[in-house]
């Protein structure tokens, strides 16, 4: 029979990693709080939509940089992810614009 070990080694927490996670969580919480304030105070306008998109990009940056560990990678890896994403966003914007123009043309 195999003998089971009952000894557990406790490793102390890395305080620097914990501080970094808390800092990112606070930043994401503050950006979300700002989004809530904007949602309930500003009327429906293009400026409000622009602010929502800008704050969403800020949140996405922090999530990708810290939790997906791309914040400390080489520039070539970052650009290989960002450039195709920018083209897809540009394509979606063009499709939305052209779809609206087609709708106005038909009706």
| pLDDT of 2 strictly over 70 | no
At 29, is the pLDDT very low, low, confident or very high (cuts 50, 70, 90)? Answer: very high
> Which of 52-56, 59-63, 65-69, 90-94 has the lowest average pLDDT?
65-69
Helix (H, G, I), strand (E, B) or coil at 23: helix
Angle at 13 between CA 11 and CA 14, to 5 degrees: 120
Helices (H) and strands (E) in the chain, counts: 3, 0
pLDDT of residue 6: 75
DSSP 5: P
pLDDT reading at 72 higher than 60: yes
pLDDT of residue 1: 56
Q: How confident is the model at residue 14 (pLDDT cuts 50, 70, 90)?
A: confident
């Amino acid at each position: 029979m195999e003998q089971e070990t009952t000894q557990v080694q406790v490793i102390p927490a890395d305080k620097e990693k914990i501080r970094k996670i808390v800092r990112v969580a606070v930043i994401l919480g503050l950006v979300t709080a700002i989004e809530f304030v904007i949602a309930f105070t500003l009327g429906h306008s293009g400026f409000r939509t622009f602010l929502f998109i800008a704050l969403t990009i800020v949140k996405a940056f922090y999530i990708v940089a810290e939790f997906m560990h791309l914040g400390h990678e080489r520039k070539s890896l970052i650009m290989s992810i960002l450039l195709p994403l920018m083209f897809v966003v540009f394509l979606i914007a063009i499709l939305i614009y052209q779809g609206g123009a087609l709708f106005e043309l038909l009706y």
